[in-house]
Chains A and B, each alone.
Chain A
């Protein structure tokens, strides 16, 4: 990127909000995704919509890429910079603009931290359910861009179920406003749902209107241990079949249990094959009834230990421990590659079996945990990125796992997004017509492919310039 462009960028956002030293580029060259890294040309902290708009206009003129970023905790490389790009960081846009207690909505800036919003609304008896593992760090903007899920997805759904409206700057610099406080609104295409999960490829989110719900007044957290993996999976299926919808149903396998216990030291059973952490919530005695049924099912499936934690602090400890699972696995090996293959809930026992099989067949260490209640698993390969041979084995294991998930009617990603790390599986997952439609939409909205290009899918450059002359140039197309 030439210095002329850089000085234009500097004059748009102001000297104090423009960074291009090696150190500053370095610390925005990654997000939470293992093994991916790329230095941006510059890092910008724009102050308002107008500045974002001007940066995007300049990007169209000068043909450089713009990568939006929140807290950088994503797990599919969505905010990892690309070739010739600048990063726009929105962590400083962190004000809650309004909490409307009459309509039960919250209007927030994209940099508001999810956990902080939850704390604020819970103070007045309201509830914002989506709770990704990184909720104390991650931002609402990032959650919307990735349609983030979490522990409570089973009962309360994911981010898309709570987004009422979005404001964002489009790649051409225009400001788009869609949605509003209406609970029903069918005017035109449902752009709002289309923007949720677009991974920063269609616009830069500048405001989000969120739906809030009343906070459940009671919850019971149940912890259970299993000596056999298959028993725990069966218990999950039985609970769903019994028409109970827990607010949370989390699964951890033995490897994960040990790593988490190393971190939290709360006496988790190191020799159990699996843990199920279940929470039921709601109002009054209905919660107790549900809890009883759940406990009976756990018992029937030979749980070796069942305990109820009804004090908030105790339950919070368990949930915090579960949320730390992914990072805790890094205690075992230096590189942890996490995926989130998801299958229809009835196929969960089979999927868990397939993951165990992958571990054996490809000789890789896999820690498995996840949101058992919604079929969303997080098989995590524990490896070392410095060892190319090991890394190769890990990739083969994941190919196998993804293929099996697809065969079972599942998906390659339940909640982390496609980003860079899963885009090669996308075609297999969604099929050619769907993929083509996505690409067409992208190229209409972002004519010059400047906004987070190369994420989700690659748009092949249009036929300009010289034709390919060597076989390597077209080998991807063959």
Chain B
């Protein structure tokens, strides 16, 4: 097989040449690209990357270190997709390119193998993740963490490791798969039949957000099915060159959920929601799963999207009527909202969370400059590319600082962890919450 055929073979996940041809290189994406903004080099822009992918697909260019580097430098925030008038599916292209990179020049790279192993067998495997999380919790709570940080042992090993260690969110005391029952009923009548995906990292590191989600859902009359057989959605793997395993997880999830009776599958993590909505497309050519995937994806809703969609039917006074404003002291508590990329750009959900938040806090809401600019978390980007991620984080923290807000709401666990870390690092006194937690807090206050 010659080089052209080989590359075409590798890129065959891209449906056909049309998807590449659609980019007419007008350059309107450049303004929204965080990595282009950093370097001002065309190759770090969506347009440049698409051109490189096109050249590889047509056999005019070898897959080399520069190509691999640029594909991985990309945050996959997909802000360019929002900006692209031609509707180019950039995210799909770059994710495919990453697969190709990992199958070719990075095939034998140790760090890639390690990453793959960790994602497959730790993150995406609930029992192992829970085990590791318990160890981590012990590490965090026993004083070992304090001790290690104090003596700076990790700093000796690697400066980045020392920093990345601080990125680890606090492990929850009780994991969601224990605290949330398989079937939960509302106090009153059942108004909505929902299912809930509690995520992999969410399960052990953000179990309180899961709990808040379930509490609010129950409050508004949802019956909630949380199948135990559900698994990690696969997005971290899919975005990092391991689509094969990601699809395995997708099929497992479809099997786990589809046998239950529900109208909406609720997700509170932007990355998971976006990926699960994409199952329909990803499994398009799987004869056994294509139909099931379509049905599965059509029911997926982000929690804020769901609340906004149902608000006219809801007996959720605080959301339907802005008259119950949260009693906040003006200027003392300012609330702002950061768009998670996979909510704003991948799922195009921007106005719904704002509407709800504004209805709760009225004049105490303030819009954040560059709200939909990536915070640098980007899945595991902040771990594998700590330095690059830090530059985006610094920008985000600066914008938050300038907004004078002291509560930042955002709908993705990655962003929450990242912005919390940024606040500590750059000495900014803010609270970072998931909007659902904010709503739950409000309900508790008003009840």
A336 at the interface (CB under 8 A from B): yes
User: Residues 12-55 of chain A: 1 if any B CB is under 8 Å from the residue's CB, otherwise 0?
Assistant: 00000000011110111111101000000000000000000000
| Partner pick for A328 among B21, B45, B86, CB 8 A cutoff | B86
A314 CB to closest chain B CB, in angstroms?
14
CB of A72 within 8 A of CB of B42, answer yes
**Residues from chain A with Cβ under 8 Å of B40 in the complex:** 91-92, 94
A263 at the interface (CB under 8 A from B): yes
Q: Which residue of A lies closest to B87 (CB)?
A: A331
User: Residues 16-50 of chain B: 1 if any A CB is under 8 Å from the residue's CB, otherwise 0?
Assistant: 01100111111110110000000011110101100
| Partner pick for B43 among A27, A72, A91, CB 8 A cutoff | A27
A250 CB to closest chain B CB, in angstroms?
15
A112 at the interface (CB under 8 A from B): no
A210 to B276, CA, bound (A): 51
CB of A330 within 8 A of CB of B51, answer no
CB of A137 within 8 A of CB of B31, answer yes
CB of B30 within 8 A of CB of A137, answer yes
**Residues from chain A with Cβ under 8 Å of B70 in the complex:** 23
Kindly identify, within residues 254 to 269 of chain A, every residue whose CB is under 8 Å from any CB belonging to chain B: 260, 262-263
CB of A134 within 8 A of CB of B27, answer yes
B154 at the interface (CB under 8 A from A): no
| Partner pick for A71 among B21, B30, B41, CB 8 A cutoff | B30
| Partner pick for A263 among B21, B42, B85, CB 8 A cutoff | B85
**Residues from chain A with Cβ under 8 Å of B85 in the complex:** 260, 263, 324-328, 330-331
**Residues from chain B with Cβ under 8 Å of A385 in the complex:** 21
**Residues from chain A with Cβ under 8 Å of B174 in the complex:** none
A94 CB to closest chain B CB, in angstroms?
8
CB of A137 within 8 A of CB of B51, answer no
User: In the complex, how many residue pairs between chain A and chain B have their CB atoms under 8 Å apart?
Assistant: 100
B67 at the interface (CB under 8 A from A): yes
CB of A32 within 8 A of CB of B55, answer no
CB of B43 within 8 A of CB of A327, answer no
CB of A26 within 8 A of CB of B52, answer yes
Kindly identify, within residues 71 to 96 of chain B, every residue whose CB is under 8 Å from any CB belonging to chain A: 84-87
B446 CB to closest chain A CB, in angstroms?
31
A21 to B69, CA, bound (A): 14
Secondary structure of the A side of the interface? loop
CB of A336 within 8 A of CB of B24, answer yes
B2 at the interface (CB under 8 A from A): no
Interface residues on B, range: 20 to 34
B439 at the interface (CB under 8 A from A): no
Q: Which residue of B lies closest to A324 (CB)?
A: B85
**Residues from chain B with Cβ under 8 Å of A91 in the complex:** 40
**Residues from chain A with Cβ under 8 Å of B18 in the complex:** 334
A161 at the interface (CB under 8 A from B): no
A335 at the interface (CB under 8 A from B): yes
A206 at the interface (CB under 8 A from B): no
B61 at the interface (CB under 8 A from A): yes
**Residues from chain B with Cβ under 8 Å of A21 in the complex:** 66
Most buried by B among A26, A28, A386: A26
B239 CB to closest chain A CB, in angstroms?
22
CB of B28 within 8 A of CB of A23, answer no
CB of B27 within 8 A of CB of A27, answer no
| Partner pick for B26 among A23, A92, A134, CB 8 A cutoff | A134
**Residues from chain B with Cβ under 8 Å of A34 in the complex:** 24-25
**Residues from chain A with Cβ under 8 Å of B62 in the complex:** 22
CB of A330 within 8 A of CB of B28, answer no
**Residues from chain A with Cβ under 8 Å of B17 in the complex:** 386
**Residues from chain A with Cβ under 8 Å of B84 in the complex:** 327
User: Would A26 and B61 be within 8 Å (CB), given that A327-B86, A331-B86, A336-B24 are in contact?
Assistant: yes
B234 CB to closest chain A CB, in angstroms?
29
A136 at the interface (CB under 8 A from B): yes
User: Residues 317-342 of chain A: 1 if any B CB is under 8 Å from the residue's CB, otherwise 0?
Assistant: 00000001111111100111000000
B269 CB to closest chain A CB, in angstroms?
25
A413 at the interface (CB under 8 A from B): no
CB of B61 within 8 A of CB of A134, answer no
User: Would A72 and B51 be within 8 Å (CB), given that A27-B43, A91-B40, A331-B87 are in contact?
Assistant: no
A18 to B235, CA, bound (A): 38
User: Residues 373-395 of chain A: 1 if any B CB is under 8 Å from the residue's CB, otherwise 0?
Assistant: 00000000000111000000000
**Residues from chain B with Cβ under 8 Å of A136 in the complex:** 28, 31
A278 to B296, CA, bound (A): 45
B215 CB to closest chain A CB, in angstroms?
34
Kindly identify, within residues 224 to 265 of chain A, every residue whose CB is under 8 Å from any CB belonging to chain B: 260, 262-263
B20 CB to closest chain A CB, in angstroms?
9
A453 to B381, CA, bound (A): 44
CB of B66 within 8 A of CB of A327, answer no
**Residues from chain B with Cβ under 8 Å of A27 in the complex:** 41-43, 45, 47-48, 51-52
Q: Which residue of A lies closest to B62 (CB)?
A: A22
A126 at the interface (CB under 8 A from B): no
Kindly identify, within residues 262 to 299 of chain A, every residue whose CB is under 8 Å from any CB belonging to chain B: 262-263
B79 CB to closest chain A CB, in angstroms?
12
A105 at the interface (CB under 8 A from B): no
A330 to B23, CA, bound (A): 8
A113 at the interface (CB under 8 A from B): yes
| Partner pick for B21 among A32, A134, A386, CB 8 A cutoff | A386
| Partner pick for A330 among B31, B55, B61, B86, CB 8 A cutoff | B86
A368 at the interface (CB under 8 A from B): no
A197 CB to closest chain B CB, in angstroms?
21
A336 to B23, CA, bound (A): 10
**Residues from chain B with Cβ under 8 Å of A330 in the complex:** 22-24, 26, 85-87
| Partner pick for A72 among B27, B31, B66, CB 8 A cutoff | B27
A326 to B84, CA, bound (A): 11
A73 at the interface (CB under 8 A from B): yes
Q: Which residue of B lies closest to A138 (CB)?
A: B27
CB of B27 within 8 A of CB of A71, answer yes
A327 to B42, CA, bound (A): 19
User: Would A30 and B30 be within 8 Å (CB), given that A21-B66, A23-B61, A23-B66 are in contact?
Assistant: no
CB of B27 within 8 A of CB of A73, answer yes
B208 CB to closest chain A CB, in angstroms?
36
A333 CB to closest chain B CB, in angstroms?
9
A73 CB to closest chain B CB, in angstroms?
4
A72 to B29, CA, bound (A): 12
A29 to B25, CA, bound (A): 11
B177 CB to closest chain A CB, in angstroms?
38
Most buried by A among B17, B43, B70: B43
Can you list 7 A-B pairs with a CB-CB distance of less than 8 A? Answer: A24-B43, A26-B55, A29-B51, A30-B25, A32-B24, A94-B40, A330-B86
B-binding residues in A (CB < 8 A): 21-24, 26-32, 34, 71-73, 89, 91-92, 94, 113, 115, 134, 136-138, 260, 262-263, 324-331, 334-336, 384-386
Across the A-B interface, give the 3 residue pairs with the lowest CB-CB distance, nearest first. A330-B86, A327-B85, A324-B85
A-binding residues in B (CB < 8 A): 17-18, 21-28, 30-31, 40-43, 45, 47-48, 51-52, 55, 61-62, 64, 66-67, 70, 84-87
14 additional A-B residue pairs with CB within 8 Å, beyond A24-B41, A113-B31, A330-B87: A21-B66, A23-B67, A30-B25, A32-B24, A72-B27, A73-B27, A73-B28, A134-B27, A137-B31, A327-B84, A330-B85, A331-B85, A334-B24, A336-B24
